[in-house]
């Protein structure tokens, strides 16, 4: 019996690896392809579509096995609201991160020779970093705040520009954006996957999440923070890039992975799930009971 439980858990963990791999290969693949082709193709609209369909396909592929969290924020919020066991949280997040790292590794295998010509290791600059993981402000739209001198380790240059970035894009704005959008992500996820919801539909849920939410959200929020709302989306590529030889540079500009990403996203996800459970869902149950009468 114990061996069956372990085997069942491993299948679910591996499914999270596969689902996150699919998501990242589609989403990051479009972004990296845009980088190596000097922005000529694919365009921003195509990148947005690739992320949306990446979510849809990942959910269809592994949803019946693991629930297709493919996102540490979903996993933690589900544990807090007792939708999954706490013992599965760390393995889920670990396999999600490894799946994202594997997808980034594939992209490096395909285009690594071109990327290293643009930014030779060991210093990683924003041009490459922005295509693999999220940074705030997004270098793809605000490149004027990402000169290479600013990212050199122990560099005294760029001090005035560093101050300007903090004035124009203070960390609290990025943190609030990530918290709010992750809040809404969990709210939408539960609105279409909770069996108590009148919109519960297992077949249509992937489209509601991937196309109904992720694509429109990326249309505007990605221009600010890169639209992470998923720690594996950045942690995995960071691991792959580090193993590829990039040791310093744009991994944690201004300490944003403490103040902007991660913590605000986790908090936003938990608040979104709690808002559904304790604010919206009770009223739905009330309406349901009244209709029966």
Task: Tell me the average pLDDT across 87-102.
Answer: 98
Q: Calculate the dihedral angle through the C-alpha atoms of 62, 230, 40, 111, rounding to the nearest 10 degrees.
A: -70
Q: Give me the count of residues in the chain.
A: 293
pLDDT band for position 293 (cuts 50, 70, 90) = low
pLDDT score for 185: 96
pLDDT value of position 284: 82
All structural domains of the chain with their residue ranges: 2-292
Residues 6+ apart with CB under 8 A from 105: 240, 243, 244
- Tokens encoding 128: 């490459």
3-class state of residue 122 by DSSP: coil
Does domain 2-292 fall into CATH 3.20.20.70?
no
Confidence check: pLDDT of 205 > 80: yes
pLDDT at residue 126 greater than cutoff 70: yes
Q: Which two tokens stand for residue 33?
A: 């392809």
Q: What is the mean pLDDT of the segment spanning 103-125?
A: 94
Residue 7 above 80 pLDDT? no
Q: Cβ atoms within 10 A of the Cβ of 206, count?
A: 23
| DSSP-derived 3-state class of residue 130 | helix
Note whether 13 and 66 are within 8 A (CB).
Answer: yes
Lowest mean pLDDT of 98-107, 190-199, 264-273, name the range: 190-199
The CA distance from 19 to 32, in Å, is 19
- How far apart are the C-alpha atoms of 222 and 181, rounded to whole Å? 11
In the predicted model, is pLDDT for residue 117 greater than 70? yes
| Confidence check: pLDDT of 92 > 70 | yes
**Is the predicted pLDDT of residue 235 greater than 60, yes or no?**
yes
**DSSP assignment string, 145-209:** G--HHHHSTT--TTHHHHHHHHHHS-HHHHHHHHHHHHHHHHHHHHHHH-TTSTT--TTTHHHHH
Q: Are 265 and 177 in contact (CB under 8 A)?
A: no
How many helices (H) and strands (E) are present in the chain, helices listed first?
A: 14, 2
Q: Per-residue confidence at 90, pLDDT binned at 50, 70, 90? A: very high
Query: How far, in Å, CA of 128 to CA of 179, rounded?
Result: 25
* CA–CA dist 129, 124 (Å, integer): 7
Q: Measure the CA–CA gap between 83 and 67, rounded to whole angstroms.
A: 11
- Residues forming beta bridges with residue 124, ordered by sequence position: 249
Q: Look at residue 59 in the predicted model and tell me its pLDDT.
A: 97
Q: What is the number of other CB atoms lying within 10 angstroms of the CB of residue 238?
A: 22
Mean pLDDT over each residue of the chain, to the nearest integer = 89
**Of 149 and 60, more confident:** 60
pLDDT the model gives residue 137: 93
């Amino acid at each position: 019996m114990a061996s069956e439980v372990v085997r069942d858990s491993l299948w679910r963990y591996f499914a999270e690896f596969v689902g996150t791999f699919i998501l990242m290969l589609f989403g990051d693949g479009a972004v990296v392809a845009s980088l190596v082709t000097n922005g000529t193709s694919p365009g921003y609209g195509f990148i947005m579509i690739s992320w949306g369909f990446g979510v849809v396909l990942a959910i269809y592929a592994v949803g019946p096995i693991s629930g297709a969290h493919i996102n540490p924020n979903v996993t933690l919020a589900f544990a807090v609201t007792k939708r999954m066991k706490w013992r599965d949280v760390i393995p889920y997040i670990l396999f999600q991160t490894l799946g994202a790292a594997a997808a980034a590794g594939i992209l490096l295998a395909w285009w690594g020779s071109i990327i290293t010509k643009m930014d030779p290791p060991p210093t990683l600059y924003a041009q490459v970093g922005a295509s693999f993981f999220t940074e705030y402000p997004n270098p793809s739209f605000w490149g004027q705040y990402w000169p290479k001198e600013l990212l050199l380790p122990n560099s005294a240059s760029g001090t005035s520009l560093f101050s300007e970035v903090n004035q124009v894009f203070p960390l609290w704005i990025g943190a609030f954006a990530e918290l709010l959008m992750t809040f809404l992500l969990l709210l939408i996820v539960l609105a279409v996957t909770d069996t108590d919801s009148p919109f519960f539909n297992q077949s249509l849920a992937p489209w509601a999440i991937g196309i109904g939410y992720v694509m429109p959200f990326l249309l505007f929020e990605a221009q600010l923070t890169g639209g992470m709302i998923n720690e594996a989306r950045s942690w995995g590529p960071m691991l792959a890039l580090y193993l590829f030889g990039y040791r310093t540079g744009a991994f944690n500009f201004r300490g944003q992975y403490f103040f902007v990403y991660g913590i605000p996203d986790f908090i936003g996800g938990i608040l979104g799930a709690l808002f559904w459970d304790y604010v919206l869902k009770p009223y739905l149950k009330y309406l349901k009971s009244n209709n029966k009468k």
